[in-house]
Structure 1
Amino acid sequence: MARLFLIICLFCSICCFSQQENEKIKWQENQPLVWSDFKGKPVALSPFKANTNAGISFSWSYSSKNGVAKLDYVIESFFYPQSSWKKEIIKKDYLLAHEQVHFDIAELHARKFRKAISEYEIGENIKKDLIALYKKFEQQQKAMQQKFDSDTNHSKIEEEELKWREFVQEELKKYKAYID
């Protein structure tokens, strides 16, 4: 009996750990990040006060019935709490807004990707085409994330920070039709 209890406890702890590792928060317009979302362990030697891990997920399926091709897809942007962290912060609201922009940049590229897929005409190389599109938007997202941090010196240049916040919000509005 004790052995069965031990096995059950071990199984439950593995399941909980696996669930925690895979935890993700889907981007939602009226649900901004809060500091309690940042659950990862801070990188001690990092000069930064916080780190946001966000990205785009993509899945799709293709079928053809009576000669009519159908492409189903899901493109989402996520924040990964276990890979995102914070240290002691003085300007908490200001830095949280900076981290939110990182998440918003992921959502912006998810919307751009949805737009591209909605305009995609199914061809012979569907798998290759879709993988190429995903890579294109993932690379663009990463490049914008880096430019954001570079231009703002990781949030230290407040004037640039405010320009970026406004720019990303305007871009999200431009692609509002492609919100998930």
Structure 2
Amino acid sequence: MKLFVTLLLFTLSFFPSEENKEKILWTETRQLTWEDFRGTPKPGADFVASTNSGMSFSFSYTEKNGKRTMEHSISCNFYPELSWFKPGKVSEYILKHEQTHFDISELHARILRKRIAEAEFSKNVKEEIGALYHTTEQERQDLQNQYDLETDHSKNKEEEYRWREKITNQLKKYERWK
């Protein structure tokens, strides 16, 4: 008997219309520009820009004659229509802060790839891979919040530069899983 399961965990569970949203894939060769931020600024926000990024994740597996084959795809995306800035209040320094948010999402895409590559799954693949995703996604959100808290949304320059270096080093550490 052949068993085939496909799970678009992030796409279906969290953003049902993600496939219809414009997205920019994270790459080492392309940095964000202010032209990428096409959303409407949030009234009353005490910061001048906002990056909406995250991980897209899908997997499938087949099991035939007791042998399981699994495939997965993980990408890091930036969503232009959900990302915004306040004209006249931003700079290249702020843009680099927003790029670092995108880089934090890429870091977690790499962490998830590593976790899946190293995992030994039982017959409960769907639940186990879902748990790996949810843990990694929560860690991603927590790190995004910690970054803004410690840098005071980029106002604390010393912390800002420390965080940029930290994330760059972590991306190098997980380079094998890009």
Per the normalisation by structure 2, the TM-score is: 0.87
Distance 1:55 1:91 in 2: 23
The superposition leaves residues 85-130 of structure 1 with CA deviations (integer Å, 9 ceiling, x where unpaired) of 0002445110000000000000000000000000111211111101
5+ long unaligned stretches in structure 1: 1-17
Distance 2:131 2:146 in 1: 22
1:140 and 2:139 matched: yes
Q: Which has the higher helix share?
A: 1
Contact kept, 8 Å, 2:39 with 2:80, in 1: the verdict is: yes
Distance 2:77 2:86 in 1: 22
1:88 and 2:87 matched: yes
Distance 1:19 1:129 in 2: 23
The superposition leaves residues 17-39 of structure 1 with CA deviations (integer Å, 9 ceiling, x where unpaired) of x8996101110011010100000
Post-superposition offset of 1:67: 2.6
Contact kept, 8 Å, 1:21 with 1:82, in 2: the verdict is: no
Within-5 A mapping of 1:42-57: 42-57=41-56
Contact kept, 8 Å, 1:109 with 1:141, in 2: the verdict is: yes
Contact kept, 8 Å, 2:36 with 2:80, in 1: the verdict is: yes
Find the residue that maps to 1:69 and give its secondary structure.
strand
Partner of 1:159: 158
Within-5 A mapping of 1:1-180: 22-179=21-178
Shift in alpha-carbon separation, 1:177–1:51, aligned structure 2, 3 A: same
Distance 2:125 2:18 in 1: 32
Distance 2:59 2:19 in 1: 25
Percent identity over the alignment is: 46
Q: How many residues align?
A: 162
Counterpart of 2:134 in structure 1: which amino acid?
K
- For the pair shown, the structure with the greater C-alpha radius of gyration is 1
Partner of 2:6: none
Alpha carbon RMSD of aligned pairs, Å?
1.6
Per the normalisation by structure 1, the TM-score is: 0.86
Contact kept, 8 Å, 2:53 with 2:76, in 1: the verdict is: yes
